[in-house]
Copies of this chain bind each other. A is one copy, B any other.
């Protein structure tokens, strides 16, 4: 039908989808199998943990940094609370808002999982990329993510 119209650009799009499909599921399964942490938990924990100064983040802010929807985040936070990795904490300055705060157990879990995750990223993704390719991918896809962020209207 129309595969021939923009071969080069479409290849970039197509291989973004293919690489994502090939790598993400595999890494997620491996990290969870070896550490007990689903990748969604890891992702959220990492953001909460790196929030300064006191390693807590409003759910709202967290949902902008994480790759799934706010309603999903609500449930993921529930699960992590049940597992003892974070606490919920009310925002004294705004009764509507809530913080997620990482616990000592949460930090320990993150410390255990980080090397596994980093090794998987290296082994299943970075290994195939030359240094300059890593740079291009980081900056170019970062630009895309910034421009097409969750709240950009469809126009």
Which of B16, B131, B154 is A26 in contact with, Cβ under 8 Å?
A: B154
What CA separation (Å) do A18 and B144 show in the bound complex? 9
Q: Is the CB of A125 within 8 A of B1?
A: no
Contact A126 B12 (CB under 8 A): yes
Stretch of A79-87, A88-96, A113-121 with 4 or more beta carbons under 8 angstroms from chain B: A113-121
Q: How far is the CB of A128 from chain B (nearest CB, A)?
A: 5
When the two chains form their complex, are residues B22 and A121 in contact, meaning their CB atoms are under 8 A apart?
no
Task: Give the interface SS of chain A, mostly helix, strand, loop or mixed.
Answer: helix
**CB-contacts of A61-115 with B (<8 A):** 67-68, 107, 110-111, 114-115
- Complex: chain B residue closest to A13, CB-CB: B121
- Indicate if the CB atoms of A141 and B15 lie closer than 8 Å: yes
Beyond A50-B3, A114-B2, A137-B140, whether A148 also contacts B122 by CB under 8 A is no
A residues contacting B by CB (< 8 A) are 1-3, 5-6, 8-24, 26, 30, 46, 49-50, 67-68, 107, 110-111, 114-115, 118, 121-122, 124-126, 128-138, 140-145, 147-150, 154
| Given pairs A1-B49, A2-B115, A8-B135, 11 additional interface contacts (CB within 8 A) | A6-B122, A10-B118, A11-B142, A13-B125, A14-B138, A128-B147, A129-B143, A132-B136, A133-B136, A136-B140, A137-B140
